[in-house]
Amino acid sequence: MFFCVGFVGIGIMLYLHIKYVYKGYIMTAIYNKDAKKKATNITINSELLEKAKKYKINISANVEKTLEELIRQHEIQNWEKENKEAINSYNQRISENGLFSDGLRSF
């Protein structure tokens, strides 16, 4: 998805800032990492489990990392859906009026 199709400058910079801040580069945690741990049962392929134990892979920590990333991806998709109208409106305004800096750019 492009925030500012066909334009360069501040529109794209704003888009990149929003995307990367939201996708976690500067984003705060999506959950309380200090919350109490809760025991649960999961079913894992027995061969994978054996290899994980062999390599001393922390299953709980890796499940948490994977869940965090999956949840983050869902929240990004939700954010994009929720803001689609505003993004489209911004794109329309820029395509009709240009950017305020169009006359100031040297490229």
Number of domains in the chain: 1
What integer is the mean pLDDT of 8-36? 58
Among candidate residues 36, 7, 10, 23, the one with its CA nearest the CA of residue 75 = 23
pLDDT score of 28: 57
- The answer to the question of residue 106 being in a domain is no
In a domain, 1, yes or no: no
pLDDT per position as a tens digit, 59-95: 999 999 999 999 989 988 998 999 999 989 999 998 8
Q: What is the pLDDT of residue 40?
A: 92
| Integer Cα distance of 80 and 106 in angstroms | 32
Give percent of the chain above pLDDT 70.
Answer: 72
Give domain status of residue 105, yes or no: no
